[in-house]
Structure 1
Amino acid sequence: MALLPQTGAEDPAEPDAEGLGATAARGAAWSGVSTIVLRLGSVIVGVVVARILAPDQFGVYAVALTVQGILMTVADLGLSSEIIRSEEPDRIAPTVATFGLISGTGLALATIVSSSRLADLLGDRDAAGAIAVLSLTLLLAGVSIVPYGLMLRRFQQRELFLISLVDLIVSTAVTFALLAAGLGVLSLAIGRVAAQAISSTLQFVATRMRPRLGLDRARWRGILAFSLPVAGANLFAWILLNVDNVVIARMAGATALGFYVLGFNIANWPMSALSQMVRSIALPYTSRVPDSAGALPQLTAVIWSMALPAGVTLAALAGPLIHVIYGAKWAPSVPVLAALGIYGGLRVIFDLFSGYLYALGRSRPVLWLQVLTIVVLTAGMIVMTSRHGIVGAAWVHVGASAVFILPGYLAIIRATGVRVTALIRACLRPTLATLPACLVALAASHLISRPLIALLAGGAGAVALYLAVTGRWLLSRLARIRGPRAEDVSDPGAAQIP
């Protein structure tokens, strides 16, 4: 459904070129607050659920989420990216809404009909019911593509935070009520659908617009020409994150998948927060900044300075973290988390690079890189899972990212005018500063016998040492991206301060 302003309502003003950096910075700040608060809430809920459910039940839900996550990406069709980057979003909105509704409805119906076969394919027939219930989120996502894309375009991260907070509250309340009623794994699926319905409705309310369908015959081919490769690239990106679940479910079973998914989820705590922040600003910022190729190294340095130490410290403290929060029964997840923490730092940078390339309209190279990576990753997963179980599967992510995906992205962005040497120089300081911080965390993890003390001492020591080395440097880089303050614009020398 497209969005048209309600009578008397005004659209939020879009930032001009001079205010783009400051607006993006505010959006990133709200996105950061949102992801930290929401991630903390999700972690607390996840801890309680993990202590209620057995690993095999957790694995059943993980199978259902694997299917839902992949299909959710397809339901978008890359259309929200087209709304974000378009010079005439209001003009293309009815067409985008029509495609989104068709895609979401079709995928939801197809998933319901084939839920049993999908569950069998992934090696756990018990997941069929959860897959069928979660398919309703595909319809809801397709309906709300336009308001969601417009909110990202306008950097309305505060409103998105409030909507996501309501989403978390609704999901938690419904899930625990149904768990108490004895519905088991289905409780999680029903809670997710209820929350999605509320959040989709609130997106329409936040944009203060009414829905309308339509089809612009002069523009629909151009819309699909850009959005379908984006959808394909996003689909393969999701497959990259979920092919391990498929392989493990088939080769090792639901219980092993439960251990693996727990480790993966913990690794995603900081990385999802950072990735959400990156995705919220990368495409709208780089699509409108005057020199996107020149801005990318500084933006990459800031993101890398947060992603790398977070991932490495998480990996170093994997043992104490899992024992303190989840208990000894989840100990097999420790080596999985150790590997995936390292992988998570690289994944955030890939999100930034793909957003930059989408802003330039270069979605096809990203798609082909994802296709080739799927082949490499799937082959590696099959070999390593059969030989080393879930730990081998986790390390395949690290190897494929460092050896194949990162060089591939660097080759693509180099063709856009970005100097790879400038990227490397910009990221050198946070990379070197992460090494001693990691050693502090490792020392605490191995030398302190009490997990809680090891976790607190290692985390605090690593953070303090890292900030001591990079704090001022990071603040200066953030100031460059943000640009001059509004009150300094009248001063010709303000924008030239190094």
Structure 2
Amino acid sequence: MAPVHGVKTITTNVGWSVLSKTATFGLKFVTVPILARLLSPDEFGVVAVALTVVQFLAMIGGAGLTAALVMQQDADEETVHSVFWANLAMAVLMSLCLYVWAAPLGSLMGAVESASLLQVMALLIPIQLAGDVAYTLLAKRMNFSKDAMWSTISESAAAIIAVGMAYLGFGVWALVTQLFSSALIRLVGLYSAAGYFPRLVMRPRKLKPLLAFSSGVMGSEIANFATFQSPMIIIARMLGLADAGAYSVANRFASIPNQVVLTAVMGVLFPAFSLMGNDRKRRSDALMLSTQVTTVVLAPAMFGLWAVAEPAMAVIFGPGWAHAWPVLGLLALSKGIITPCSTFIPYLKGTGHGRALFWSAVIRAVVTTAAVALAAHFGNLVDAMIALCIVNATTLLGYSWAVFRVDNIPFGSGLLTSSRSMINAMIMAVCVRVALPPLHARLDSDYLELAAGAAIGALIYGALLLVTERVLLRKLLQLVRTRSTVAV
């Protein structure tokens, strides 16, 4: 019988995952601006384009089999080994294809210079996919503390190596080495933590029950990938590598809060929702609580970054990147708008609603790609980012409707509950944006302006939170007290 995991278990594992991401947050907060000062926009653009191809092929190579393995509660050792070898075989095939066709792919992506990088980075595909089964075993056990530890070690070590190499003048190879270092260290750590060693066992019949679910998951993952990566490809082809580099740097920095919270939450919630089965009340409670908490944390960070984007760009990245502050601000705004949807994908995935997940992802991918392409064609990089904000606002409504319909939650009340903290963050950000121009003339310092904006935003958001989210705060306080009592 599958173990029962409720809100307390989920919050514990989310806590471990968030802790690992937070441990690397400070280091990334420092290393991304350092790398931006040491490398040019073109260098960032070339690596970003090459990485887009690698990640896409790695996703196809995985074929969604490990996600299906999470859903299969009674998977035996033969099934686990078969998934490992199937993943590895596809990874090697994808890697060879990328090596052979690196030049035409680089040209197609609008970055002919990336061909040699693509051939080297093709080796990342088998390294990344080789660790999927070990991670899946940890996820099935809801043992995220060990994954948290190795994620922290791998990301931290890789970031330090990249900064050192960039300082010594290795250019784009500093970023490439960062990717390989992180992947290799985490691979070794996952196998050590999971206690898994693959045996030479391959039973195709064991894979057959997994294929129905995995094909739907793979389709939605491809669509989601297109949503997040198509702007990079469009910008590189239509606006040039310099704009692609500016987008890459701004996106890397604006994505740090998401990497801290969302990757941790999504990684835990998928297996948690899958283990809840048909217990709709527990699922609904976990869905709404996790959505509210992630929105409370992420929305003020993203909208706040939009409000202080101009001084933040000058302070963090230096005068060479100051012109790109509207890109940073609009990217943060687009991510802030979508924060209530952070738990929806793992919910649909974990509860077996593959069709709803697939079509939601496909529609979002098509609309995002078309909107950004049209904006880039008729305008510039800033216009493309504005289009992304509009698409994400529409996506919020669409995903909310799909998820609340699946769980029989009234759309109006569900949307208000999940988005209330986002609305608070929007009000806070507008107030900060209005307050900054008068302060700019008086303070005459980007550092002081940034600090003043952050302080004003924290006070306003804190006050709004106390007024509108008292029920949620009491619930969280009760959870903390309960866990403290149990620990004693």
Q: Secondary structure at the match of 2:197?
A: strand
After TM superposition, list the pairs within 5 Å mapping 1:89-488 onto structure 2. 89-91=75-77, 92-179=79-166, 182-289=169-276, 290-291=279-280, 292-404=283-395, 406-427=397-418, 429-449=420-440, 450-470=445-465, 472-478=470-476, 485=483
Q: Distance in 2 between matches of 1:332 and 1:85?
A: 47
Task: Tell me, yes or no, if the aligned pair for 2:159 and 2:178 is still in contact at 8 Å.
Answer: yes
Amino acid aligned to 2:37: R
Amino acid aligned to 1:21: V
Structure 1 counterpart of 2:73 = 87
Q: Distance in 1 between matches of 2:481 and 2:416?
A: 21
Q: Secondary structure at the match of 2:379?
A: helix
Cα deviation, 1:168-208, whole Å, max 9, x if unaligned, reads 24323543454456432123213311331121011000112
The number of residue pairs the alignment matches comes to 475
Q: Secondary structure at the match of 2:198?
A: strand
Task: Tell me, yes or no, if the aligned pair for 2:340 and 2:396 is still in contact at 8 Å.
Answer: no
Q: CA deviation at 1:410?
A: 1.7
Task: Tell me, yes or no, if the aligned pair for 1:308 and 1:342 is still in contact at 8 Å.
Answer: no
Amino acid aligned to 1:248: I
Amino acid aligned to 1:156: N
Q: Distance in 2 between matches of 1:102 and 1:458?
A: 52
Q: Distance in 1 between matches of 2:110 and 2:292?
A: 42
Q: CA deviation at 1:233?
A: 1.0
Amino-acid identity (%): 24
Q: Distance in 2 between matches of 1:461 and 1:277?
A: 29
Task: Tell me, yes or no, if the aligned pair for 2:270 and 2:347 is still in contact at 8 Å.
Answer: yes
Of 201-210 and 443-452, deviating more is: 443-452
Q: Distance in 2 between matches of 1:241 and 1:460?
A: 32
Structure 2 counterpart of 1:5 = none
Task: Tell me, yes or no, if the aligned pair for 2:35 and 2:166 is still in contact at 8 Å.
Answer: no
TM-score, normalization: structure 2? 0.89
Structure 2 counterpart of 1:75 = 61
Cα deviation, 1:120-168, whole Å, max 9, x if unaligned, reads 1111211122222222121012211111112233333332222122212
Gap regions ≥5 residues in structure 2:
none
Q: CA deviation at 1:378?
A: 2.0
Q: CA deviation at 1:44?
A: 1.6
Q: CA deviation at 1:68?
A: 2.2
Structure 2 counterpart of 1:496 = none
Of 344-353 and 451-460, deviating more is: 344-353
Is the alpha carbon distance of 1:228 and 1:213 closer, same or farther for their aligned partners in structure 2, counting shifts above 3 Å?
farther
Give the counterpart of 1:47 among 29, 33, 42. 33
Q: Secondary structure at the match of 1:212?
A: coil
Q: Distance in 1 between matches of 2:455 and 2:446?
A: 14
Q: Secondary structure at the match of 1:287?
A: helix
TM-score, normalization: structure 1? 0.88
| Higher helix proportion | 2
Q: Secondary structure at the match of 2:170?
A: coil
Q: CA deviation at 1:297?
A: 2.4
Q: Distance in 2 between matches of 1:422 and 1:86?
A: 34
Task: Tell me, yes or no, if the aligned pair for 2:360 and 2:398 is still in contact at 8 Å.
Answer: no
Task: Tell me, yes or no, if the aligned pair for 1:134 and 1:189 is still in contact at 8 Å.
Answer: yes
Amino acid aligned to 2:63: L
Q: CA deviation at 1:87?
A: 0.9
Cα deviation, 1:296-337, whole Å, max 9, x if unaligned, reads 223322222222222111111111111101012212321112
Gap regions ≥5 residues in structure 1:
1-13, 490-498
Q: CA deviation at 1:48?
A: 1.4
Q: Secondary structure at the match of 2:380?
A: helix
Task: Tell me, yes or no, if the aligned pair for 1:155 and 1:280 is still in contact at 8 Å.
Answer: no
Of 56-65 and 213-222, deviating more is: 213-222
Q: Secondary structure at the match of 1:210?
A: coil
Q: Distance in 1 between matches of 2:152 and 2:406?
A: 40
Cα deviation, 1:342-390, whole Å, max 9, x if unaligned, reads 2213444434111001111112322222222222222212210122211
